[in-house]
Amino acid sequence: MRRQALALAARAVEQRLNADLSDHIGAAAPCDCGEMARYAGRRAKHFETVLGAMRLERAYYDCSHCQRGFCPRDRALGLEGRSLSPAVTRMVGTVGALVSFQEGSELLGELAGVEVGAKQVERTAEALGREIAACERRVVEPIESSKIPPTLYLGVDGTGVPMRRAELVGRAGKQRDGSAKTREVKLCTVWSAESRDEKDRPVRDRGSVSYSAAIETAATHDTDREIAPFWQRVEREAQRRGFDRVGRQVLLGDGALWIWNLADELFPRAIQIVDLFHAKEHLSEVGRAIYGTMSELATAWTRQRYDELEAGNLDALLTVLGTCATSCEEAKKSVLYFERNRHRMRYAHFRALGLCTSTGVVEAGCKVVVAHRLKRAGMHWSLDGANAILALRCARLSGRFEVFWNSSHRTQHTA
């Protein structure tokens, strides 16, 4: 019954628009190139709308100067160069950000009665993502100073995404032959944690997390600034969220050198903290390497190291790791890791300051933003496609899709 009602509505709208000849604005009309285009009759085209498919007849103008044509009605309805109405395009953007293109096509048909093939979902979602990515680079609207909390956290991390072979030519990787199967998505996330749990520990504030991600280089040296888009991405996100103006800056990372290089250059006054989860993960790997994966001795040894780490007893921790390093390669690597980052692992001190030391926000971000959408079975991405969907997904997860959409000409139209 619903589909029948929509079909009837579609026919009524179609007939009314086709009967309206007001889009014929004269024998000639101004073209974007600055010249006049001549009227060349009426032309029909099929469009997919929320009511269903429509066949619309429109006045067509042809420009002999630039060899291009246009339909004034398409421009007025937000349909120029498209076969999907703005409302359907928005739907496609939603499903394209959340699920695979095939699943998105099926959801549109099942829930909205809109027939859009998987390939068209892909093309439309990626085009929308590219538009969002361009807007993200071009428009930076800083938050009002009055809305910035006392403390803001900024986290950065990276995770690999499976790529098409053409995107991996000449790239070194971790395969046995030295080749690569993935390229790294770098993620920047900002959040606040003014809330407290029952034990008075800081808790991430609901709705405070924003994301920005892409497959980009993270070079941070002065000479590389023009070719370091992730460096610029982090800076833009910091400006949007007020991280550059906040009273107390905290930067969390997994201990990778590129993260701290970026932190030192962009945010020299930030408190640097190695995420406690990652530090503990290193200790767990050492325990398993020494005693075996399922060993109770590994569990007991690791728990004792956890206690030393959280209590700030890094001297004792490093002494034990140093002893193990003579016969265990994982322990040897961990000694270097903990020595290099010990000033970022003063967890008792950080907790006394009321700071988060491990929120899981960055780790979860890599899963929520990247893995859940781009690392599913059988997926292999182009660089352009991956970055487009990342931009689209980040916009939705950060609550910015509505802002983008409302600033677009598409909001003039609803069909």
Compute CA distances 312 → 207, 256, 307, 323, 337, whole Å. Answer: 32, 21, 9, 19, 16
On whether both 53 and 120 belong to a single domain, the answer is: yes
Q: Residue range 168-180: average pLDDT?
A: 87
User: What confidence score (pLDDT) does residue 228 get?
Assistant: 64
Structural domain contains residue 283: yes
252 Cβ contact partners less than 8 Å away, ≥ 6 residues apart: 153, 154, 155, 273, 274, 275, 356, 359, 362
User: What confidence score (pLDDT) does residue 408 get?
Assistant: 60
Q: What total of structural domains would you count in the chain?
A: 3
Q: Tokens 């695979």 belong to which residue? A: 100
Query: Reduced to 3 DSSP states, what percent helix, strand and coil does the chain have, rounded to the nearest 5?
Result: 50, 20, 30
pLDDT at 46 over 70: yes
On whether both 221 and 369 belong to a single domain, the answer is: yes
Least confident of 187-196, 219-228, 236-245, 268-277: 219-228
User: What confidence score (pLDDT) does residue 349 get?
Assistant: 94
Distance of alpha carbon 272 from alpha carbon 251, whole angstroms: 5
Structural domain contains residue 36: yes
User: What confidence score (pLDDT) does residue 234 get?
Assistant: 95
Structural domain contains residue 389: no
123: pLDDT confidence band, cut at 50, 70 and 90?
Answer: very high
Q: Residue range 107-122: average pLDDT?
A: 93
Structural domain contains residue 395: no
Q: Is 309 helix (H, G, I), strand (E, B) or coil?
A: helix
CB atoms within 10 A of CB 333: 16
On whether both 194 and 284 belong to a single domain, the answer is: no
Least confident of 319-323, 340-344, 356-360: 356-360
User: What confidence score (pLDDT) does residue 413 get?
Assistant: 47
On whether both 323 and 375 belong to a single domain, the answer is: no
On whether both 152 and 92 belong to a single domain, the answer is: no
pLDDT at 296 over 50: yes
CATH label of the domain that carries residue 162: 3.30.420
Structural domain contains residue 186: yes
Boundary (domain end) residue, out of 318, 344, 370: 344
Angle at the Cα of 162 from the Cα atoms of 376 and 99, rounded to 5 degrees: 30
On whether both 86 and 234 belong to a single domain, the answer is: no
pLDDT at 60 over 80: yes
On whether both 283 and 260 belong to a single domain, the answer is: no
More confident residue, 286 or 219: 286
pLDDT at 172 over 50: yes
Contact 365, 187 (CB under 8 A): yes
pLDDT at 35 over 50: yes
* Element of type H or E holding 265: helix 257-266
177: pLDDT confidence band, cut at 50, 70 and 90?
Answer: confident
On whether both 323 and 304 belong to a single domain, the answer is: yes
User: What confidence score (pLDDT) does residue 411 get?
Assistant: 44
Mean pLDDT in the chain?
A: 91
User: What confidence score (pLDDT) does residue 113 get?
Assistant: 85
On whether both 225 and 192 belong to a single domain, the answer is: yes
User: What confidence score (pLDDT) does residue 7 get?
Assistant: 83
Least confident of 239-253, 334-348, 351-365: 351-365
Q: Which range in 202-206, 220-224, 356-360, 383-387 is most confidently predicted, on average pLDDT? A: 383-387
175: pLDDT confidence band, cut at 50, 70 and 90?
Answer: confident
111, two tokens: 């829930």
On whether both 20 and 122 belong to a single domain, the answer is: yes
pLDDT tens track for 197-238 = 888 889 999 999 999 999 998 765 444 444 468 989 999 999
Query: For residue 327, what are the domain limits?
Result: 278-344
412: pLDDT confidence band, cut at 50, 70 and 90?
Answer: very low
195 Cβ contact partners less than 8 Å away, ≥ 6 residues apart: 202, 203, 204, 205, 206
Nearest to 241 by CA among 358, 361, 152, 155: 152
More confident residue, 176 or 392: 392
On whether both 289 and 228 belong to a single domain, the answer is: no
214 Cβ contact partners less than 8 Å away, ≥ 6 residues apart: 133, 185, 186, 229, 230, 233, 387, 390, 391
270, two tokens: 């930030």
On whether both 55 and 81 belong to a single domain, the answer is: yes
Structural domain contains residue 391: no
Q: What percent of the chain has pLDDT over 90?
A: 78
Distance of alpha carbon 111 from alpha carbon 113, whole angstroms: 6
User: What confidence score (pLDDT) does residue 415 get?
Assistant: 53
Contact 188, 211 (CB under 8 A): yes
Structural domain contains residue 388: no
Structural domain contains residue 351: no
